[in-house]
Amino acid sequence: MQKYDIIVVGMGPGSIFMAYEMTKIDKTKKVLLIEQGKRVEDRNCPIEKLGKCAKCKPFCNITSGFSGAGAFSDGKLSLYNEEDDDIYVGGNLHKYIGVEETKKIIDYADKVYLSFGADNKLEGTEFKNEIKEIKDRAKKEELSLIDIPIRHLGTEKAHELYKRIENYLEENNIDLMFETVVDDLIIEDNTAKGVKIRSANSKEKETTSIYGDKVVVAVGRKGANWLSDMCKKYSIKTESGAVDIGVRYELPDKVMKNINTYMYEAKFIGRPGPFKDKVRTFCQNPSGFVSAEVYDNNLTLVNGHSYKDRKSTNTNLALLVSHNFKYPFNKPIDYGRNIAKNLNELGNGNIVVQRLGDIYRGKRTWEKELETNQVVPTLKSAVAGDITFALGYRTMTDILQFIRQVDKVVEGFANPENLLYAPEIKFYSNKIYIDNNFETSVKNLYSIGDGGGMTRGLMMASCSGIKMARILKDIK
Ligand SMILES: Cc1cc2nc3c(=O)[nH]c(=O)nc-3n(C[C@H](O)[C@H](O)[C@H](O)COP(=O)(O)OP(=O)(O)OC[C@H]3O[C@@H](n4cnc5c(N)ncnc54)[C@H](O)[C@@H]3O)c2cc1C
């Protein structure tokens, strides 16, 4: 019978930084990471060659494999401002371990990224006066502007960096099991004992059991669905969360020139009327490319990234609205999934793209109109159509009002030829209850990273892994 000290489900940044840290603090621990996707060097997305999403089987290469969603991400590592007494980006790790410790772990994780080849340059630290001027203008429009230093890996460099980490972990006796699905957890007397696995490539549903003293789930947004099923099956305590629904917005670099130069990424947050929902910009990619990624049940969602060397002339960013539900309906994941499903159907399985001006005019966008549009879509597989058929009135109104607000700070932000791609949805709404040691309501079962709702980004997911290793080292 195989037995490990620690089994980690998933191999995203949360998981691999946990394993990295364990090699530094306790080499005696026997650690196994299990991933349904491929090794990082075997991951590639055929969308550029084919011009459309190939719906890779058994799993989307953008979201699955070594380094999880990090491999094809833009690789923006969000740091923090020394003077801030809170952490504004990347989720809620600081709510469990405090702001000061979170800052220290961010410093440490940043050094680890640098040691594996991250760019030395930090974006957003040079133009303090210019940033202040934009911040003041934003404030007048009732928008907050969060600026924090960012280290930009770039999609292709992120790939290389994660390959070095993959090599390092194997050289340091961490067991990596690829193309293996964790089908089920083994839980007896409310205590985790291990996992049940099966091959990702076989039609056989038969599983094999692997036992471990501690089981850490680090399944990312890709695994949110599976995790939600596990919570129901084993009565793992969850907390109600939000779902973030919106669009990927694409506009010319020249409109975003100042923001891109001074900050690389601006995080605007507003609460436009009449609903006063929280609306924010997220994941900004200067000279970037809009991308499509496939989730469970073949849901296609839009995202964006940018390369270090290859450039477009457009900037893309997410415009996201946070929705909370309480009573009688409290299924934010289902709500988001239904919206995504409707949009996918409208796009015949593809992302739908529409010009802002067409939404104002109350009409769909046609392919031929995109051919002469000032903003040329960088996601070639996107289908021109009408996103207002599927995005709810409330979400749509929030987004349109927010665009108008930002336009007063960044001239041209509401240009009618700017593009909205949908659906962009963040499924981190299945928030798992964890204590300060990241232990769930099931003994010896832990949750880190985006999947359980603790984090929302590369840096914080990595930090949650580092802290997890430090916690587990001391727990008998
Ligand atoms: C296109 C794109 C661009 C992004 N850009 C940025 C950015 O610039 N900056 C930033 O901070 N964040 C970015 N993100 C988000 C970032 O990638 C995530 O926040 C981060 O990867 C979360 O790490 P994680 O370890 O929690 O999970 P993930 O990276 O999602 O990894 C989870 C892994 O678990 C595996 N898994 C799930 N269920 C199972 C199962 N049952 N059995 C086996 N394996 C399983 C999945 O296949 C996956 O590989 C981007 C994401 C995408 C998709």
| pLDDT, tens digit (0-9, with 9 covering 90-100), for 140-168 | 999 999 988 999 887 778 889 999 999 99
Give the pLDDT score at 125.
Answer: 84
Q: Ligand 1: which residue has its CA nearest to atom 18? A: 457
The pLDDT-based confidence of 129 (bands split at 50, 70, 90) is very high
Give the pLDDT score at 348.
Answer: 95
Q: Report how far apart, in Å, the C-alpha atoms of 224 and of each of 205, 241, 386, 430, 457 are.
A: 21, 12, 28, 7, 15
Residue range 230-246: average pLDDT?
90
Q: List phi, psi (to 5°) of 443.
A: -60, 140
Task: Name which of 437, 428, 444 is nearest 96 in CA terms.
Answer: 437
**Residue 59 is inside which H or E element, if any?**
none
- Assess whether the C-beta atom of 454 lies below 6 angstroms from ligand 1: no
The pLDDT-based confidence of 475 (bands split at 50, 70, 90) is confident
Distance from C-alpha of 25 to C-alpha of 41, rounded to nearest angstrom: 28
For the entire predicted model, the pTM comes to 0.86
Residue type for position 136: D
Residue pair 60/221 in contact (Cβ under 8 Å)? The answer is no
pLDDT digits (tens, 9 = 90+) for 88-104: 888 999 999 999 999 99
The Å distance, Cα 16 to ligand 1 centre, comes to 11
Instruction: Tell the residue number behind the tokens 């923090």, with chain if given.
Output: 80
- Is it the case that residue 113 has pLDDT exceeding 90? yes
Q: Provide, rounded to the nearest whole percent, the portion of the chain with pLDDT above 90.
A: 74
- Is it the case that residue 1 has pLDDT exceeding 70? no
Instruction: Tell the residue number behind the tokens 């796009």, with chain if given.
Output: 347
Of 3.50.50.60, 3.30.365.10, 3.40.50.10800, 3.30.450.20, the CATH number of 3-118+155-239+431-474 is: 3.50.50.60
- Alpha-carbon torsion 456, 231, 217, 65, what sign? negative
Distance from C-alpha of 245 to C-alpha of 279, rounded to nearest angstrom: 10
Return the half-sphere exposure (C-beta side, CA atoms, 13 A cut-off) of residue 295: 27
Residue range 324-332: average pLDDT?
85
Q: Ligand 1: which residue has its CA nearest to atom 52? A: 73
The Å distance, Cα 127 to ligand 1 centre, comes to 31
Q: What is the mean pLDDT of the chain?
A: 93
- Assess whether the C-beta atom of 458 lies below 6 angstroms from ligand 1: yes
The pLDDT-based confidence of 429 (bands split at 50, 70, 90) is low
- Assess whether the C-beta atom of 15 lies below 6 angstroms from ligand 1: yes
292, two tokens: 């499509």
444, two tokens: 């010896």
467: buried, middle or exposed (CB in 10 Å: 19+, 13-18, 0-12)? Answer: buried
Residue pair 232/300 in contact (Cβ under 8 Å)? The answer is no
Residue range 34-60: average pLDDT?
85
The angle at the Cα of 219, spanning 218 to 224, to the nearest 5 degrees, equals 130
Instruction: Tell the residue number behind the tokens 């840096």, with chain if given.
Output: 459
- Is it the case that residue 367 has pLDDT exceeding 60? yes
- Is it the case that residue 459 has pLDDT exceeding 70? yes
Instruction: Tell the residue number behind the tokens 């709702």, with chain if given.
Output: 453
Q: Report how far apart, in Å, the C-alpha atoms of 389 and of each of 339, 357, 392 are.
A: 10, 16, 8
- Is it the case that residue 73 has pLDDT exceeding 90? no
Residue range 321-334: average pLDDT?
86
- Assess whether the C-beta atom of 270 lies below 6 angstroms from ligand 1: no
Task: Name which of 180, 145, 169, 367 is nearest 262 in CA terms.
Answer: 145
- Assess whether the C-beta atom of 228 lies below 6 angstroms from ligand 1: no
Residue pair 231/393 in contact (Cβ under 8 Å)? The answer is no
Instruction: Count the residues in the chain.
Output: 476
Ligand 1 binding pocket mutation candidate from 18, 20, 66, 74 (most atoms within 8 A of CB): 74
- Is it the case that residue 7 has pLDDT exceeding 60? yes
Residue type for position 140: K
The domain limits of the chain are: 3-118+155-239+431-474, 128-152+242-426
Nearest ligand 1 atom to the CA of 66 is 49
Residue pair 375/418 in contact (Cβ under 8 Å)? The answer is yes
For the chain, report the end-to-end CA distance as a whole number of angstroms. 21
